[in-house]
């Protein structure tokens, strides 16, 4: 039996999932997953790594479905519940999924695909009690089997399916359980999309492995989150910078009395984590003022789960993602994959059981992303300063080659955000005959300055804080920045706006 199932059996009477106030024990979750695996098996003995796609609302049904796929021997392919039909069709066709599990409300969006497909469809709400029964025998699942296919964001090419095995997932979860000291007493809420590693592994995977409880609510609501905080129903929280920004904005609308009550409740939290996109130092400082917590920043990606983290105990440095996690090997390398020295920028290379197996049916892409001696090439550039890793950005979009210099877009963004006029920003490099790449900044202004922006004054101001060769040469004022489902700014879209 898979290890996550064995872990769950240690906590049968604990609250596993709380969904819109309804409590489900681990015993219920295990039984429901086993019965649902019988539906998936459909009188066969083993799904034999067949791909099972599912488009299910976050909550009890989502976890039940995920676990059922795994114990039946299938490979889970979670679909984004907000993606348009063409994106969903791409994943379904690329994985050659033979079974599709959906919540009934998604029948409409998937209708055109289902009319022309032979895929076996299971609608969760249409299964009756007579169909649910424990299978006579569940297949033995080797840890080397494929377990999950998640899709990269596909900012430069078509999205690639990232294949992780059960062994990979165990390694990803185990290292976080140890590093962040998860326990059965923890209570977390999932506010993250469940077609990404952050939500699946860091929140749902870790909490249920540890015997803790995971809370779900319908949609993202700052009011609901603060209500749970005020009732002392949470002690761990994980989110992306965009969510923290929205929580801060909502908190500032509350009466002082309510703010003080929430501050006292948040002080009782054990851990607050931020990741998936660069955390502006200004947001980190503001959240610390509100909650009394220095957010724990970490570094990871779809292909490897988490690899680097600020310490649970010890200094958490703003602007840094910390040190390598236990069991994960990290080195920074130059363009020839030779390790660089401290304070020298280099590409992050990773080794360990946490690293994914392959890109689905893309052997050339898989080979290209590993060095000859087996290091995974992340494409992210970092530098080590006083033992801590600082991310400079993606090789492709955050490292700007201008006038012979390699310049970190993230560094310029941090400076811009300290200006009183600027609410948010994104810095990109756009092709230029003279400079190679011209530094350009898309900015979102705070309301008092929307009609009072002066590009020259901003340009004169920024050279007081960075070298003149790093200052943006062009600005674009926007109402908001384009973002993906995880809150990451889509810089390639911004580049097109400048062109």
Whole-number Å distance between alpha carbons of 245 and 280: 10
In sequence order, the β-bridge partners of residue 489 are 483
Whole-number Å distance between alpha carbons of 190 and 387: 32
Q: Residue with structure tokens 């700052």?
A: 222
User: What is the chain's alpha carbon radius of gyration, rounded to the nearest angstrom?
Assistant: 23
User: What are the two backbone dihedrals, phi and then psi, of residue 3, each rounded to the nearest 5 degrees?
Assistant: -60, -35
- Domains of the chain, first to last: 399-498 (3.30.300.30)
Contact 384, 345 (CB under 8 A): no
Query: CA distances (Å), 410 to each of 111, 128, 275, 394, in order?
Result: 42, 53, 15, 10
Query: CA distances (Å), 492 to each of 106, 159, 379, 483, 498, in order?
Result: 30, 15, 16, 11, 10
* Cβ neighbours of 65 (radius 10 Å): 27
> What torsion, rounded to 10 degrees, do the Cα atoms 138, 80, 493, 296 define?
-70
In sequence order, the β-bridge partners of residue 238 are 273
pTM, two decimal places: 0.85
Query: CA distances (Å), 484 to each of 158, 205, 397, 410, 429, in order?
Result: 15, 23, 15, 18, 20
Contact 354, 302 (CB under 8 A): no
Provide the residue-wise pLDDT of the chain in tens; the chain has 499 residues: 688 889 999 999 999 999 988 999 999 999 999 999 999 999 899 999 999 999 999 999 999 999 999 999 999 999 999 888 988 999 999 999 999 999 999 999 999 999 989 999 999 999 877 677 777 789 999 999 999 999 986 544 678 999 999 999 999 999 999 999 999 999 999 999 899 999 999 999 999 999 999 999 888 899 999 999 999 999 999 998 888 988 999 999 999 999 999 999 999 999 999 987 777 788 889 999 999 999 999 999 999 999 999 999 999 988 899 999 999 999 999 988 899 988 899 999 999 999 999 999 999 999 999 999 999 999 999 999 989 999 887 777 788 888 767 788 888 998 899 999 999 999 999 987 667 789 999 999 998 888 888 899 999 999 888 878 889 999 999 999 998 877 788 888 999 998 7
- Give the CA count within 13 Å in the CB-facing half-sphere of 336: 2
Angle (nearest 5°) at CA 6 between 5 and 12? 85
């Amino acid at each position: 039996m898979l290890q996550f199932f064995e872990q769950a059996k240690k906590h049968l009477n604990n609250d596993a999932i709380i969904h819109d106030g309804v409590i489900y024990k681990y015993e219920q979750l295990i039984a429901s997953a086993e019965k649902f695996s019988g539906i998936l098996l459909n009188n066969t003995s083993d799904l034999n790594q067949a791909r099972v796609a599912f488009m299910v609302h976050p909550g009890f049904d989502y976890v039940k479905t995920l676990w059922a796929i795994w114990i039946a021997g299938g490979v889970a392919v979670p679909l984004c519940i907000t993606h348009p039909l063409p994106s969903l069709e791409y994943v379904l066709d690329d994985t050659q999924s033979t079974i599709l599990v959906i919540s009934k409300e998604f029948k409409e969006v998937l209708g055109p695909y289902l009319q022309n497909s032979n895929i076996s469809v299971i609608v969760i709400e249409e299964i009756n009690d007579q169909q649910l029964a424990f299978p006579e025998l569940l297949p033995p699942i080797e840890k080397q089997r494929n377990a999950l296919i998640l899709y990269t964001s596909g900012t430069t090419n078509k999205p690639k399916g990232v294949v992780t095995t059960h062994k990979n997932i165990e390694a990803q979860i185990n290292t976080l359980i140890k590093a962040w000291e998860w326990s059965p007493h923890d209570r977390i809420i999932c506010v993250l999309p469940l077609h990404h590693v952050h939500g699946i592994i860091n929140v749902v995977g870790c909490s249920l492995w540890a015997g803790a409880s995971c809370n779900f609510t319908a949609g993202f609501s700052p009011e609901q989150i603060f209500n749970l905080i005020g009732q002392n129903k949470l002690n761990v929280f994980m989110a992306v910078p965009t969510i923290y920004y929205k929580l801060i904005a909502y908190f500032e609308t509350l009466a002082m009395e309510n703010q003080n009550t929430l501050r006292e409740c948040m002080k009782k939290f054990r851990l607050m984590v931020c990741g998936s996109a660069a955390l502006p130092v200004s947001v980190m400082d503001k959240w610390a003022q509100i909650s009394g917590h220095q957010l724990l920043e970490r570094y990871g990606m779809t292909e490897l789960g988490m690899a680097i983290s600020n310490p649970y105990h010890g200094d958490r440095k703003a602007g840094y993602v910390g040190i390598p996690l236990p069991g994960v090997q990290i080195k920074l390398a130059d363009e020839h994959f030779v390790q660089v020295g401290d304070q020298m920028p280099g590409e992050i290379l990773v080794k360990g059981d946490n690293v994914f197996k392959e890109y689905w049916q893309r052997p050339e892409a898989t080979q290209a992303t590993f060095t000859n001696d087996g290091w995974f090439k992340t494409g992210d550039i970092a530098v080590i300063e006083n033992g801590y890793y600082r991310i400079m950005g993606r090789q492709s979009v955050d490292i700007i080659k201008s006038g012979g210099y390699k310049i970190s877009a993230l560094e310029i963004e941090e400076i811009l955000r300290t200006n009183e006029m600027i609410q948010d920003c994104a810095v990109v490099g756009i092709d230029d005959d003279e400079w190679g790449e011209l530094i350009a900044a898309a900015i979102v202004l705070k309301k008092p300055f929307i009609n009072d922006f002066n590009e020259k004054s901003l340009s004169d101001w920024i050279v007081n804080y960075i070298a003149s060769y790093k200052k943006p040469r062009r600005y674009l004022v926007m109402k908001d920045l384009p973002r993906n489902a995880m809150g990451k700014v889509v810089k390639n879209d911004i580049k097109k706006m400048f062109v």
